[in-house]
Every structure is written in structure tokens, then in C-alpha cells.
Amino acid sequence: EPEVTQTPSHQVTQMGQEVILRCVPISNHLYFYWYRQILGQKVEFLVSFYNNEISEKSEIFDDQFSVERPDGSNFTLKIRSTKLEDSAMYFCASSLTGQDRYGYTFGSGTRLTVV
């Protein structure tokens, strides 16, 4: 079964450093998403991406964050100048259409720890 692949599985970084989280969505999917989940809290939407541009972003997704699809397969989330409160699980997801009634497929996540 096709899957969304995320790397690394765990990233430890010092406060103030930049991190790039990587995702390989399912190959024929057109919509891509980043979500995060702080330990013990809800899964929160960060950003959706379609046709090489951001289609929607949440209040969390401020200037510290950026996304990019540098080639035909990768989808990245960059966090500049990380803060302690950025520590969370970051999930990438993809879907064939934006209105996919079958929901979308999540990757296994990257646990980001900011120290």
C-alpha cells in the first residue's frame, strides 16, 4: 500500500537553529499538508499546499515557517530560529484531491525536540 514517508524520525536541535523536515508524499497525490501535535494535545493544522503554492495556512504558520516542493517528490517544512515551544510531532499528509472523501494519508511523523 502506498505510504507517505517522513525523515528524520527524530530531530534534536538547539533553540535558535533552523530545521528542515522532509516528506515524500504518495506519488499521484496532488495536495500536501503539514500538521503538528504537541505532546498530549490535539493534532493541529499548519499548512496545505497545492499546485506549488500554499492554499491555506493556520495562525500557527507564521513567518518562522515555510514549505517547499523542491522537486517532483519531496515536500519540506522549514522552521527558522526554532523555539522551545516548537517541540512536537510533525506529520506530513497527502491526498489525491482536496475534497477527498477518504480523508488523507499521514506519514509516520518527525519528533522535533528543541533544547
**Contact residues: other proteins, CB under 8 A:** 31, 33, 41-45, 48, 55-56, 58, 89, 91, 95, 98-99, 101-109
Residue closer to other proteins, measured from CB, 16 or 49: 49
Question: CB 107 → other proteins: shortest distance, Å?
Answer: 6
Residue closer to other proteins, measured from CB, 14 or 28: 28
Residue closer to other proteins, measured from CB, 35 or 86: 35
For 52, which DSSP code? T
Question: CB 68 → other proteins: shortest distance, Å?
Answer: 19
- Residues 38-62: b if buried by 16+ CB within 10 A, e if exposed: eeeeeebbbbbbbeeeeeebeeebe
Cα 97-98-104 angle, rounded to 5 deg: 80
